[in-house]
Amino acid sequence: MGASAVIFYILSFLVLVAGLLAVTSRKIFRSAIWLLFSLAGVAGLYFWLQMEFIAAVQIVVYVGGIVVLIIFSIFLTQQSGRDLPAPVRSRAIFSVVAVCLGFVLTCVVLRQYAFGQTGHSVAGAGVDKIGTQLLSTSEHGYVLPFEVISVLLLAALIGCVVIAIKLKPEDK
């Protein structure tokens, strides 16, 4: 087992342990911090897969954006020192059983499937290639989804402002 494989297993251990603590921690603020570690570990996995651009986007959007947004909303809506209620025991037991069964089933299916590599050369996913194909209007270009998602982001922006705005009492 070479150094590369060791790095992969350490990274995936970090991701899974931090994710498990994020969904089981009784303090909501600690839960958010564990989520941050888990997402940073996923960014490390992208670096390990030599997808530098995706790793950078993961860090900028998830670690820098979504987790900070979640922490702000915790401060706005919650007394962060108070413990969360423990899950109902029967619900927790059945959830563990369902989740373990699902995971075992997935692993069995994965073991049986033979993955064959179809591509030839490792071309690398440089930013120049990604940008060119993302904005290209030719057959394999992604300019239409790009434009659609810009409209979606604008709609989400306006929707957030409309939903979260505080009306004055006389306007209600």
Partner 1 sequence: MSQVPLSHILMVSAALFFIGMYGLFTRRNMITMLMSVELILNSVNINFVAFNRYLYPDKLEGVFFTLFVIAIAAAEAAVAIAIIINLYRNFHSIDVEDADEMKF
Report angle CA 95, 100, 105 to the nearest 5 degrees: 130
Q: Which of 10, 30, 69, 147 binds partner 1 (CB under 8 A)?
A: 69
Sign of CA dihedral 23, 25, 27, 31: negative
80 binds partner 1 (CB under 8 A): no
Q: How far apart are CA 47 and CA 56, in angstroms?
A: 9
Task: State both tokens at 148.
Answer: 């659609």
Task: State both tokens at 59.
Answer: 């860090």
CB of 58 to partner 1, least distance (A): 7
Footprint (CB under 8 A) of partner 1, residues 91-150: 91-92, 94-96, 98-100, 102-103, 106-107, 110-111, 113, 115-123, 125, 129-130, 133-134, 142, 145, 149
82 binds partner 1 (CB under 8 A): no
Q: 83 forms bridges with which residues in the sheet?
A: 27
CB of 138 to partner 1, least distance (A): 13
Q: Give whichever of 81 and 85 is closer to partner 1, judged by the CB atom.
A: 85
90 binds partner 1 (CB under 8 A): no
CB 29 within 8 A of CB 71: yes
